């Protein structure tokens, strides 16, 4: 039935007479249905989808498709409405959603997880985690600026000299670098810290100052990710942050270790030493948080006037941008699964093998570890 979906006529010709690139160009071989109201919060109206050639339908009709593209994992009560043997591509988080995966397996679903796409150069175009991290870093700065009582940029005006705001960003991955670039563009003095030495050059290229500790320890884990640091290293970086807390106006933390709880790097004593009116944003809040006093999902001001932003849904707070980037990631991922004239799940492809969870109900997750060459 996947083929049937893919084989719909294109400009009157059967699809098997046309190349995959033709499908990519016209995409008219695919009958696209969109759930009514799906784009409302992102400023895309039903009419926009109609004009783009899609058919706007109610939710049960949309879920009764051969291929379903979604943002979040499905709700349990949506699963029985999926066609047996259909394909679902969405964020899945299979390690946290085992019951959901089992229910989908019983329906013979083929399931692909956008959150499991391997983070290799070739797959950057499908990398929705990076797209969302980029948005989170940007939005963290915007939220901080919104709750900060001064300009970011320094000014000399007739009414007096205004110093630039000082921003500290902890963790220089995708989100951290995005935050550094945004704060720098807004005129702040920006400092960054990361355990991975490779990040120094990246922070400096964005105009930030890279902070360092005296202790030498490599923070590189596998595949460009961080590893858990020794207690000595964590103590040394916390000593550095304790000094910074007295100086900076805004702290944005993004330090994560894949599969582990986020390390606490800013203690309540450090927060107590910050100036009233300072703002802290914790992008690791969902993974336990880097800031001891953060409340995941909440915003509040503590007793010494430090605004705490613990939002865990920053991409949703920039909905049009998130939708646009995610749509690009997911459609390019889907369209990559073509061979000559038909839809084809190539399990020899590292990207597909890394991100497939179920193949017609058969559990293929977790994938085998990458071959060491």
The single residue among 63, 179, 190, 229 that binds ligand NAD, judged by CB under 6 A, is: 229
Query: What tokens does 277 get?
Result: 């009116």
Q: How far is the CB of 344 from ligand NAD (least distance, A)?
A: 23
Q: Which stretch binds ligand NAD (CB under 6 A): 60-68, 203-211, 251-259, 322-330?
A: 251-259
49/247 Cα distance (integer angstroms): 50
363 three-class SS: strand
Q: How far is the CB of 202 from ligand NAD (least distance, A)?
A: 7
For position 314 contacting ligand NAD by CB under 6 A, the verdict is no
Cis omega before residue 366 (within 30°)? Answer: yes
Rg (CA), the chain: 23
For position 225 contacting ligand NAD by CB under 6 A, the verdict is yes
**How many CB atoms within 10 Å of residue 178?**
24
Q: Could you say which residues in the range 171-190 bind ligand NAD, by CB under 6 A?
A: 171-176
| Residue 130: DSSP 8-state | H
The single residue among 86, 254, 329, 355 that binds ligand NAD, judged by CB under 6 A, is: 254
For position 137 contacting ligand NAD by CB under 6 A, the verdict is no
Residue 68, φ and ψ in degrees, nearest 5? -120, 125
Q: How far is the CB of 199 from ligand NAD (least distance, A)?
A: 6
Say which of 66, 127, 194, 249 is annotated catalytic: 127
Contact 246, 278 (CB under 8 A): no
Q: How far is the CB of 235 from ligand NAD (least distance, A)?
A: 11
Q: What is the number of alpha carbons within 13 Å of residue 82 lying toward its C-beta?
A: 28
Our answer to whether residue 51 is catalytic in this structure is no
For position 230 contacting ligand NAD by CB under 6 A, the verdict is no
The set of residues, in sequence order, having a beta carbon less than 8 Å from that of 290 and lying 6+ positions away, is: 170, 171, 253, 254, 255, 262, 263, 264, 265, 266, 282, 284
- How many helices, marked H, and strands, marked E, lie in the chain? 12, 18
DSSP E strands, the chain: 33-35, 55-57, 67-69, 87-90, 110-113, 155-157, 160-162, 166-170, 189-193, 209-210, 250-253, 279-282, 299-301, 307-309, 338-339, 342-343, 356-359, 362-363
For position 226 contacting ligand NAD by CB under 6 A, the verdict is yes
Residues in the chain: 373
| Residue 334: DSSP 8-state | H
The single residue among 258, 297, 305, 370 that binds ligand NAD, judged by CB under 6 A, is: 258
The single residue among 248, 256, 279, 330 that binds ligand NAD, judged by CB under 6 A, is: 256
Would you say 73 or 176 has its CB closer to ligand NAD?
Answer: 176
Our answer to whether residue 196 is catalytic in this structure is no
The single residue among 23, 62, 104, 133 that binds ligand NAD, judged by CB under 6 A, is: 133
Our answer to whether residue 48 is catalytic in this structure is no
For position 192 contacting ligand NAD by CB under 6 A, the verdict is no
Our answer to whether residue 127 is catalytic in this structure is yes
Say which of 46, 93, 115, 225 is annotated catalytic: 225
Q: Could you say which residues in the range 70-129 bind ligand NAD, by CB under 6 A?
A: 119-121, 123-124, 127
Number of residues in contact with ligand NAD, rule: CB under 6 A? 32
Q: How far is the CB of 54 from ligand NAD (least distance, A)?
A: 29
For residue 22, give the H/E element and its range. helix 20-26
Q: How far is the CB of 229 from ligand NAD (least distance, A)?
A: 5
Q: Which stretch binds ligand NAD (CB under 6 A): 92-100, 240-248, 255-263, 272-280?
A: 255-263
Our answer to whether residue 115 is catalytic in this structure is no
Say which of 119, 273, 321, 349 is annotated catalytic: 119
Contact 226, 196 (CB under 8 A): yes
Contact 83, 64 (CB under 8 A): yes
80/357 Cα distance (integer angstroms): 19
Say which of 84, 124, 205, 218 is annotated catalytic: 124
Q: Which residue is nearest to ligand NAD (CB)?
A: 173
Whole-number Cα distances in Å, 191 to 147, 152, 244: 20, 14, 9
Say which of 130, 178, 244, 323 is annotated catalytic: 130
Annotated catalytic residues are: 119, 124, 127, 130, 225
Binding site for ligand NAD (CB under 6 A): 119-121, 123-124, 127, 130, 133, 170-176, 193-196, 199, 219, 224-226, 229, 237, 254-258, 263
């Amino acid at each position: 039935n996947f083929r049937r979906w893919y084989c719909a006529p294109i400009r009157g010709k059967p699809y098997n007479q046309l190349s995959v690139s033709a499908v990519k160009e016209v995409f008219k071989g695919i009958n696209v249905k969109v759930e009514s109201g799906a784009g409302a919060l992102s400023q895309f109206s039903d009419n926009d989808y109609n004009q783009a050639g899609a058919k706007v339908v109610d939710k049960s009709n949309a879920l009764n498709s051969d291929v379903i593209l979604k943002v979040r994992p499905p709700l349990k009560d949506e699963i029985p409405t999926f066609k047996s043997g259909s394909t679902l591509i969405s964020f899945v988080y299979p390690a946290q959603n085992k019951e959901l995966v089992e229910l989908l397996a019983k329906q013979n679903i083929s399931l692909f997880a956008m959150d499991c796409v391997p983070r290799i150069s070739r797959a950057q175009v499908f990398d929705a985690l990076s797209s969302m991290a980029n948005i989170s870093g940007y939005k963290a700065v915007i939220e901080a600026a919104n709750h900060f009582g001064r300009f970011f940029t320094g000014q000399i005006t007739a009414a007096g000299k205004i110093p630039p705001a000082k921003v500290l960003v902890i963790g220089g991955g995708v989100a951290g670098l995005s935050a550094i670039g945004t704060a720098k563009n807004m005129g702040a003095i920006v400092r960054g810290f990361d355990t991975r030495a490779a990040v120094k050059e990246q922070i400096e290229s964005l105009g930030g100052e890279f902070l360092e500790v005296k202790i030498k320890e490599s923070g590189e884990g596998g595949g460009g990710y961080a590893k858990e640091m020794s207690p000595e290293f964590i103590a040394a970086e916390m000593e550095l942050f304790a000094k910074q807390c007295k100086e900076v106006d805004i702290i944005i933390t993004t330090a994560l270790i894949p599969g582990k709880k986020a390390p606490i790097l800013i203690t309540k004593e450090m927060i107590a030493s910050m100036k009233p009116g300072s703002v802290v944003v914790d992008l690791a809040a969902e993974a336990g948080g880097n800031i001891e006093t953060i409340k995941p999902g909440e915003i509040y001001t503590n007793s010494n006037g430090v605004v705490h932003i613990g939002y865990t849904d920053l991409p949703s707070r920039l909905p049009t941008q998130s939708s646009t980037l995610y749509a690009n990631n997911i459609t390019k991922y889907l369209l990559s699964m073509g061979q000559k004239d038909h839809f084809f799940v190539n399990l020899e492809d590292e990207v597909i093998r890394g991100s497939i969870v179920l193949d017609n109900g058969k559990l293929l997750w977790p994938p085998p570890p990458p071959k060491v060459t």
